[in-house]
Each structure stands twice: as C-alpha cells, then as structure tokens.
Amino acid sequence: MKMNKNWSLLVTFATFASMLAACTPGGGGSSSPTASTPAPGGAAAPTNTSTSSNQKVELRMTWWGSQVRHDATLKVIELFEKQNPNIKINGEYLGSDGYWDKLNTQIAGGNAPDLIQLGNNYPDYVARNALLDINPYLGKEINVTDFDKATVESGAMDGKLYGINLGSNAFGIAYNTELIKKSGLQPPTGNWTWDEFGKYAQDLTKALGKGFYGAVDESKVPLYLNYMARQSNKTLYKDGKVGLGKEEIAKWFTTWDSYRKQGSTPPAEITTAYTENPDNSTFVEGKTVMHLIWSNQVNAYQKSMKDEINIVLPPNGGVGAAQGLWLQPSQFMSVNAKTKNPKEAAMFISFMVNDPEATMILGSERGVPGSSKVREALKAKATPVDKKVYDYIDLAAKNSRVLDREIPNGKEFETSIVNLSQKILFGKETIPNAAQELLSAAEKVVKK
C-alpha cells in the first residue's frame, strides 16, 4: 500500500481547543462515541460494545523495552485493575528485538492486541488501517487537559489522532563516571566535534588498557546517521523522498570505520556479540566507556550498572554546521482498529499518563511526560537519576530543531544498515559500495 505522505499534524487549533474545553479533570466519563465509516489511512471509532460498568472486559496490551520498563508497566496495569475491577489487561512484552516482526504478524493475522506501543513509525500502521482514531474519546475517556497542543498533535495525522504521546526524549552520550576517573582524563562536557569525540574515545582506550574501549560502535543505528546528516542540512526522509545522498552515508560509515581502526571502539567480534540495550551491552558490562542512548534509557542503564553514569550532548558538526539534535516523542500508546473495547482501552491510556500514582511508578522511563501537572509532580520527587534526565532534556531543548518524519518502513531500512555495517566491520564490503547499497535500500522502502 502506498504510504500517505501527508503526515502533517493536522489537528487544527480550533479543534484542539474544543477538545480541551470538553476535558474534565477525571477523564473518566462513560459516554461512548457513535461508529462512523472508516476512512483510508486509519479506522474510525467503533461503537463501544460494553453495556454495563460491571461487565467484565479483557484487553491485551503490547510493548517493548527493558526489564525496568516491563516491571513498571505491570505495576501500573495492576493498579488500574484494582481501581477498575471489571477490566483485565494481559501484558505481552519483549525486548526491541523481535517486537516489530511479531506485531506485524499479528496485525496481518487480525489478532493484534487492543493496546499497542508504537514509535514515530506509527504512520506506517495508519497506512495499514491498523489504528483507531481516538479523537472521539478526548474529553471523555482520555484527559489531555494538562498537555500542550504540540504534544497531543505529535500523535495526529490528517486530522485524526492515532496515539497519545507517552513522553519526550533526546539522545546523548552516556558515560561511565568511574571508568573516566580510572582513566585519569577529564569528563566530557558535550561541547565537541565528531573528530574530538573519536580522539577522546581513543585516549580512553589507551588509558584504560586491554579489554576496555572508549565508545560503543553505533554505525548500525539509522537515527544517528540521520543526526549527522542533519548537521549538513540533509535528512534521511523529506517530502516523500530520501533526503540525503551517497556522500552523507559514506561519511557516516567512514567516521565509524576510522574510530574502529584507531581503537576508539571494539573490534567486530565484540561489537556483533551485543545488541547494545540495557539487558545486553558492552557499556553495562564496563567494557566501553561511552554510549549514545536515549534520555529515557538512562534509568534502565543505571539500574543495570553499579557505576554511576552521566549524559552529555552528542558530537556537533563543527563551526557553521546546522543543529542535528531534536526532541522526539519516545513512544505512543495506540488502540487497535479492531478492538472490541475501545472505551476501556482509552480509559487505560488516560490512566497511564494522568494518574498520580501510575505516573510516579513510570517516572521518566518512557521519556519526560507530556502532562505539565505530572512533570511538576515528578520533578518534586525526582531521584538523582531522574533529575539528570530532566536537566538533560532542558539542555537538549536549547540545542535542538524540529524533528523530521521518520523514513517509512523503517524496520526494513534498519535491517539494511545493520547488515551493511556488519559487512564493513568484517571487511566484506567497501564503504562506497555499502553507501550505494544503503541509498538504494532507502529509496526502495520509501517507494513502498
């Protein structure tokens, strides 16, 4: 199916204002919408099938993440069930590896869960008519009174709302403070170019000795490729087309290849043995000192490590370069277009992002919350780790520009960059050829 390229967030201000006016602080009204005819690019809200507040309803919910996220989310589900004894939610969760393949299979088979965690790739699922327009539930089951307009609109497309933003984050360089102390080097400030970052990582490798490396090899991550490209005013995807060329891709691969050759990052055998997430990482095991991570992952990494970590801005493009960083919605909670219980699904989403106890349990694990009321409550009781996250988001916001639309069929593109980066790692492909192959892969997924 051809992707609708008009992804602009078209919930108008007047429409949004009327939604907010209708919202009540509790966000738990019982009114249910009337079914309407589904339109291309997303399904309309079906008539709610519940006939009584005492009727037993069972929902399925899927998400990806670390064990920290799983544990917190399960606690929130348990809390919701206690307050809503007629509703049972069964969690289906796993790491990011395999999540999308499983979800795609479920959607194709018509048996996807009622509640679905998605990223900025949600337009791919809108194009498959897999998501429910939840606009009719705003002001009733879903309360967004304390959300700013842009936060709500980040889950909107063509005048319909397909997900509630669970938090905002930005990526940065996390570093192991204990290994920095051991090296005798000064901690990084975040005011550095790509060359300076590579040199600092090389110095760490030399200072720490055998078995230690300055940084994780991030050459397989498409969002970080896009970050470097944005510093040259290019982008992976723009206006329905691939927005960068072979030169930008080659520069990305060359940068990491040079780091590898100078010892800044681990050799191929070590790099390919880890998925580099909080549950399986050279950074967690203390083999690497620095790692590009999302700010909402700081908690998960810190809980997996004994050494303290900090986070600073990623490398910049040097004098005259454009700003590459952006604030990004971490995830969205969406509703399956085929759910038989849309009202109850909407109720849980509102609970997840508004309930004082639930939001305290979740903290900033999925990013800095969209509700200003929740943010202030969390800041007042922030742990030292959470405070680092809030402070970093404030810093990143001052060094960011508007985010780009993610490339359609992003998981397929990610598979391509992972495979090609591994070929370069093991010397089985030249950088010019890999750059051309990745460009062709990008053009292919965009045309789907």
Which of 343, 353, 344, 355 lies closest to 136, judged by CA? 343
**What is the separation of C-alpha 10 from the centre of its chain, rounded to a whole number of angstroms?**
22
Q: Is the dihedral of CA 298, 301, 305, 309 positive or negative?
A: negative
Contact 183, 207 (CB under 8 A): yes
**Inter-axis angle of helices 67-83 and 342-354, to 10 degrees?**
110
The pLDDT of residue 364 is 85
How many other CB atoms are there within 10 angstroms of residue 401's CB atom? 12
* pLDDT for the residue 27: 31
Q: Are strands 237-238 and 241-242 parallel, antiparallel or unpaired?
A: antiparallel
Per-residue pLDDT of the chain in tens (448 residues, 90 and over written 9): 334 433 333 333 333 333 333 333 333 332 222 223 233 345 544 433 333 457 899 999 999 998 999 999 999 999 999 999 999 999 999 888 789 999 999 999 999 999 999 998 999 999 999 999 999 999 999 999 998 787 898 899 899 999 999 998 999 999 999 999 999 999 999 999 999 999 999 999 999 999 999 999 999 999 999 999 999 999 999 988 999 999 999 999 999 999 999 999 999 999 999 999 998 999 999 999 999 999 989 999 999 999 999 999 999 999 999 999 998 888 999 999 999 999 999 999 999 999 999 999 999 889 889 898 998 899 888 889 989 998 999 899 889 988 888 898 888 999 999 999 999 999 999 999 999 999 999 999 999 8
Contact present, 174 and 301 (Cβ < 8 Å):
yes
Closest by Cα among 364, 331, 268, 321 to 72: 364
Q: Which residues contact 394 (CB under 8 A, 6 or more apart)?
A: none
d(CA 134, CA 116): 13
pLDDT at 163: 97
The answer to whether domain 13-168+329-393 and domain 171-325+409-447 are alike in fold is yes
Q: Which two tokens stand for residue 340?
A: 């038989």
Quick one: pLDDT at residue 96?
81
pLDDT of residue 330: 86
| Closest by Cα among 243, 255, 363, 366 to 315 | 255
For the chain, the domains span 13-168+329-393, 171-325+409-447
Q: With contact defined as beta carbons under 8 Å apart, do 260 and 184 qualify? A: no
CATH of domain 13-168+329-393: 3.40.190.10
State how far the alpha carbon of 112 is from the alpha carbons of 101, 155, 205, 337, 339, in Å.
12, 20, 46, 9, 9
Class of the CATH-defined domain 171-325+409-447: alpha beta
Whole-number pLDDT of residue 405 = 82
Rounded Cα distance between 442 and 444, Å, is 5
Question: Which pLDDT value is given to residue 257?
Answer: 98
Nearest one of 130, 120, 153 to 10, comparing CA atoms: 153
